[in-house]
Structure 1
C-alpha cells in the first residue's frame, strides 16, 4: 500500500461540513458517479479511495472544514477520555473540544465528535461505492473478489468505530441513500452486519504472506479475523471471540517481535506481529504524512505536546518492566536518535514515546513523518484471546497467551523476579492480571476507553481517578450516558428529527 499513492486526497481537503454537503460530493476515487465504473483501473482507484479515510482518522482535530485537519481522533477518544492521558497542549484552552471529552462535558457541535461522524461515513460511502460499482466491471475475477473483500473489511472497520463512538447509527449498505435519510439502526443490527462483512472478507482475502511487497498494508484474512474477534469481545461473546483470535494465533502468519521497542519505529513497521496498520509514506510530491508525532511531540522539541501520559498510567507498570521506558519518556532521557528529551510543558512530566519521531524518520521535516500507525498487532490479539479464554473457563490457554506476552516483555532478561509468569487458577485473579497486562502492553495505543466500556469499568475507573487526584477529569462521568458521544446536532437537523440524540445529551 505504501507504493499506492492515495489519489483521493482531494476528498479530505475539500469542505467537510455537514453530511449533506459531504456525502453529496462526487465519488472519492476521482471518478464521477455520473460515469460508469468500467475499467480495472477504475476499480483499483475506487478501492484505494476506500482506504483513504484511514489516513484522515489520525489528524489532530482542527475542524473538518480546515484543510489541515478533520477526522477520527484516536488520541482523544481512546486515551484522553481515560485515566491514561491528560489532554496537554499549550494550555487548558488549547483545543477545547479535547478537554470537553476528557472532562465529559461535551457541548453540541464538538469538533472531535463532528469530525468522527463525518470521516467514518465518508469511509462507509467509499466502501459502498466499491461494492455497488465494481461487480459490473469486466476484469480478472480473482482480483475483483479481493477488491470486494477489501471493501467489506473497510466498511466493517468504519462501522465498528461508529458503533463504539455513537452507539446506534444509520446503517447504509448502498450509495443510493445518505445517513441523514435513515433512522438510527440498533447497535446489535449494525454489529451483525459488521460480523457478516468481516466473515465474508476473511474467507476471500489473502493471508499476509500471500501479498506482494507492493501490496503491503492491504487488508488480510488475518486482519479480518482479528477484528472479528474484537467485535465479539465488544459484544461479550467470548466463545466466538476465542475462536476468531485462535485463528489468527495459529495461522503461523504472525509472531511477537522479540524487540518490543522496535515495533514503533520506522525500521520495525510491518514487522512480524503487525496485523493491520495505516501506511504512511514520504515520497514528494506524493507525500502521505503521519502528523501524530507532531501532535504528541514535545513543544520544547518539535511538537504540540498533546496526550500527556498520566502518573496513574506510569504507576501501573511493574517494577523493572522494560515496556515503560519504551512507552513514555521524561526529561533527560536519551532517545533512540541520541537526542536528550525535553518534555516541555507536559502537565504530567511525560509524553508518549510510541509516537516519538526520530530525526532520521522525518526526512521532510517532523510534520512529514512517514511512520506507520499500528491499529492491530499480535500482542493485542494474544491478550484479548487470554481474556476470552479465561471467561470461557479455559484458564490454561489464557495463562499461556498472557505469559507469552510477558515473556517477550522481559527482552531476554534472565532475572526470575522480572515479570514472572502468572500462575493463578482463580478466574477473577486471572481476569485482573489480564486487564493489567492489556493496559501496559498496548498502553497509549488508543484502546483504553473502549476496553473500559466493554468491560463495564469506565464509570468506576474515571470517578475513582477524579477522587484520587482531586481533578475534574472523570468526575462528571455518568453511567448510561458517557459510554458514547452525542450525535452531531447538524445531523439531527439535516434529518429533520429522524435521527434522535443519545440519552443524556
Structure 2
C-alpha cells in the first residue's frame, strides 16, 4: 500500500472567494466553530493539495484541466498530436493544437478554474491556520510553508499559461472587492510568486513524516525554476547548488524508475501530484483522472489514444553511430541507433509495452489521422494492482511536478547561458549516462531496439553548441511531461520551431495543413470568456484573441 497523505476533497469551498472571475459556487461553508479543532484545520490544508491533479468537482473530465499540463505543454508543442478519435473528438484540444484557440474552449476555462480553486483553498486554509490557537508554533510554521508553496505553484501555472492574471491572497475582502484586474506587470507577478516560494523555503522542513507533503527541497527546486523563467541565471546556479548540498536528492538508478508506481517518493522526486486508487473514495477520482484519455487502446486498455507522440519527437531520439543526438529530422528506421528513453516514452510497433506484449500498430485508435505511436511514459500495466482496469481507467502513479533531472538541467542551461560550457557538458553527460544504462528489453531479455547513447567526449565548440546540447537533452529527458511548449516559449523560439514543425508534419498529418503559430499571440492562452464576462470590464484579454 502506498504511503501518502489523504487528498480529501472537502465539500466546503470558500464563500469569501467565489465572486466574478473566480466563479466558484460554494457547496457549503465552514463556521469558526467548525474550525475550532486541529482535525478540521488540517483537513482544509489537505484540501488545498487536491486541485493539483486538476479535479475540482464531481465530474470525470479533469483531462480538460490536467495537473500534468499534457494539453497545454505537449499537444500544442512539436512533441505530440492531440490523438483520440479524429479532430472532432475533444475538438477544443484540436483547435488548441492548430493554434485556433479561443476563449470559450472548455480546457481554457477549466484550467483557469482549477488553479483558482486551488488558490481559494490555500487562502482559506491560511486564514484558518492563522486564526487557530490550537497549533504549536512549529506546526503552524510548517503548514504555512506548505500552503505558500502550493499557492506559488498554482500561480506559476497560471502565469506560464495565461500570462496576465489577477492576484488574490488571503486578505479578507468584501464580496465586491473580488473584482480584481489582471494589470500587474510581469516583474510584479514573478516577484509575488518568488515570495511564495521564499516563504515556503524558510518555513518548511527538509523532510516530512507524511509522504506527499511538500518540503524545503520542493520550494528550493521551484525557486530555481522561477529564476530560470526570469533568466536570473546566477541565482539558478546557486539555488540548485544549495539543493544538491543537502545530500537528500540524487538521480534514480534507472530512468524508468521515475514512472514506476512501486518506486515512488524516491531520491529523484521533489514535488509530486499524489494519486491513489481503491482507497474507499467514490469513483476512484484520486487516481490519474487528468490523464485517463492517454491509454493507448489495444487489447489491454480502453481505446482513448490521446497525447499521441509525434513523428518529430520519435525522430529526436535517433542517435548517430557515435551515440550522440542525430539532428537531421529523418524518420527512425528499424536498424537505426536510438536513445533507449524513446521506448520508455513512446509505444512503438514491435517494441515491448511494459510487461504486456509487443506494441502493435493496430492499438492506435485513428492511425490515419495521428499515426501509430502511443503514449507510454506514465502508463501502468493493466495487470498491475495499481491500475484500475475499469472505469474511469486510472492508475495510482504519481506525477512529478519537479524531479531532480529537471533541476539539473536548469543548472546546465544556466551554465551554458553564463559561459560555463564545461559545467553544462558535465551535467548533460550525467543525464545521458543514466539513460544509457536503462534499455527496454523484449520478453526474452534481448534489447528491444538498436540502442546507443554516448556522452559528449569533446568540449562544446562554443556557447551555441552548448545551448543546443542542453535544449536537446531537456527535450529527450522530459518528453511528454507537459514541459516542452513552455520551454519553447521561454527560449523565444516557439514561432520558429512550431511553424517549421507544421511545414514538415503536414505532409504526414494533413489535418495540420492550416496550422500556424503567430508570434506575439500564441505564446499564451486567452483569458476565459466567462471570466471576462463576469469581471465588469476589469479583466483584459491577451493580445490577439
Measured at CA, do residues 20 and 468 of structure 1 come closer, stay the same or move farther in structure 2, by a change above 3 Å?
A: closer
Partner of 1:55: 53
- Alpha-carbon distance, 1:336 to partner: 2.2
Partner of 1:181: 179
Question: What is the distance in 2 between the residues matched to 1:65 and 1:473?
Answer: 37
Deviates more, 1:229-238 or 1:474-483: 474-483
Question: What is the distance in 2 between the residues matched to 1:463 and 1:230?
Answer: 27
1:115-147 deviation per Cα after TM superposition (whole angstroms, max 9, x unaligned) = 011010011111111222211212121111100
Partner of 2:532: 492
Matches within 5 A, 1:303-382: 303=302, 304-317=304-317, 318=319, 319-342=337-360, 343-345=363-365, 346=367, 347-358=370-381, 359-362=383-386, 364-365=388-389, 367-382=393-408
Question: What is the distance in 2 between the residues matched to 1:158 and 1:473?
Answer: 35
Indicate conservation of the 8 Å contact 2:179/2:536, yes or no: no
Indicate conservation of the 8 Å contact 1:129/1:174, yes or no: yes
RMSD between superposed Cα atoms in Å: 2.6
Partner of 2:189: 190
1:8-37 deviation per Cα after TM superposition (whole angstroms, max 9, x unaligned) = 25469xxxx99568435267xxx6156563
Indicate conservation of the 8 Å contact 2:75/2:97, yes or no: yes
Query: Is there any run of 5+ residues in structure 1 with no aligned partner, and where?
Result: 58-63
- Alpha-carbon distance, 1:175 to partner: 5.6
Measured at CA, do residues 3 and 322 of structure 1 come closer, stay the same or move farther in structure 2, by a change above 3 Å?
A: closer
Q: Does residue 477 of structure 1 match 2:517?
A: yes
Question: What is the distance in 2 between the residues matched to 1:113 and 1:503?
Answer: 15
Deviates more, 1:275-284 or 1:288-297: 288-297
Question: What is the distance in 2 between the residues matched to 1:20 and 1:129?
Answer: 17
Q: Does residue 130 of structure 1 match 2:125?
A: yes
Partner of 1:421: 456
Question: What is the distance in 2 between the residues matched to 1:88 and 1:292?
Answer: 15
Measured at CA, do residues 77 and 382 of structure 1 come closer, stay the same or move farther in structure 2, by a change above 3 Å?
A: same
One of 155, 163, 166 as aligned partner of 1:167: 163
Q: Does residue 140 of structure 1 match 2:121?
A: no
Matches within 5 A, 1:36-185: 37-56=35-54, 67-70=59-62, 72-73=65-66, 74-138=69-133, 139-174=135-170, 176-177=172-173, 181-184=179-182, 185=184
Partner of 1:250: 245
Question: What is the distance in 1 between the residues matched to 2:114 and 2:147?
Answer: 16
Secondary structure of 1:499's counterpart equals: coil
One of 452, 464, 468 as aligned partner of 2:500: 464
Indicate conservation of the 8 Å contact 2:277/2:395, yes or no: yes
1:470-490 deviation per Cα after TM superposition (whole angstroms, max 9, x unaligned) = 353784211111111111111
Partner of 1:447: 483
Matches within 5 A, 1:209-358: 210-212=207-209, 215-286=210-281, 287=284, 288-291=286-289, 294-300=292-298, 301-303=300-302, 304-317=304-317, 318=319, 319-342=337-360, 343-345=363-365, 346=367, 347-358=370-381
Question: What is the distance in 2 between the residues matched to 1:165 and 1:364?
Answer: 31
Question: What is the distance in 2 between the residues matched to 1:406 and 1:364?
Answer: 34
Deviates more, 1:249-258 or 1:282-291: 282-291
Question: What is the distance in 2 between the residues matched to 1:246 and 1:83?
Answer: 32
1:221-279 deviation per Cα after TM superposition (whole angstroms, max 9, x unaligned) = 11111111111111111121222222222321111111111210112222221111111
Higher relative contact order (Cα pairs below 8 Å, separated by 6+ residues):
2
Q: Does residue 389 of structure 1 match 2:407?
A: no
- Alpha-carbon distance, 1:284 to partner: 3.5
Question: What is the distance in 2 between the residues matched to 1:380 and 1:473?
Answer: 34
Measured at CA, do residues 190 and 490 of structure 1 come closer, stay the same or move farther in structure 2, by a change above 3 Å?
A: same
TM-score normalised per structure 2: 0.84
Secondary structure of 1:295's counterpart equals: helix
Question: What is the distance in 2 between the residues matched to 1:380 and 1:474?
Answer: 34
Measured at CA, do residues 155 and 33 of structure 1 come closer, stay the same or move farther in structure 2, by a change above 3 Å?
A: farther
Measured at CA, do residues 322 and 271 of structure 1 come closer, stay the same or move farther in structure 2, by a change above 3 Å?
A: same
Matched pairs, number:
488
Deviates more, 1:460-469 or 1:276-285: 276-285
- Alpha-carbon distance, 1:454 to partner: 0.4
Indicate conservation of the 8 Å contact 1:2/1:280, yes or no: no
Secondary structure of 2:262's counterpart equals: coil
Secondary structure of 1:267's counterpart equals: helix
Measured at CA, do residues 154 and 65 of structure 1 come closer, stay the same or move farther in structure 2, by a change above 3 Å?
A: closer
Question: What is the distance in 1 between the residues matched to 2:493 and 2:33?
Answer: 50
Indicate conservation of the 8 Å contact 1:257/1:271, yes or no: yes
Indicate conservation of the 8 Å contact 1:180/1:495, yes or no: no
Secondary structure of 1:87's counterpart equals: strand
Deviates more, 1:110-119 or 1:269-278: 269-278
Query: Is there any run of 5+ residues in structure 2 with no aligned partner, and where?
Result: 320-336, 440-449
Question: What is the distance in 2 between the residues matched to 1:11 and 1:335?
Answer: 42
Secondary structure of 1:93's counterpart equals: coil
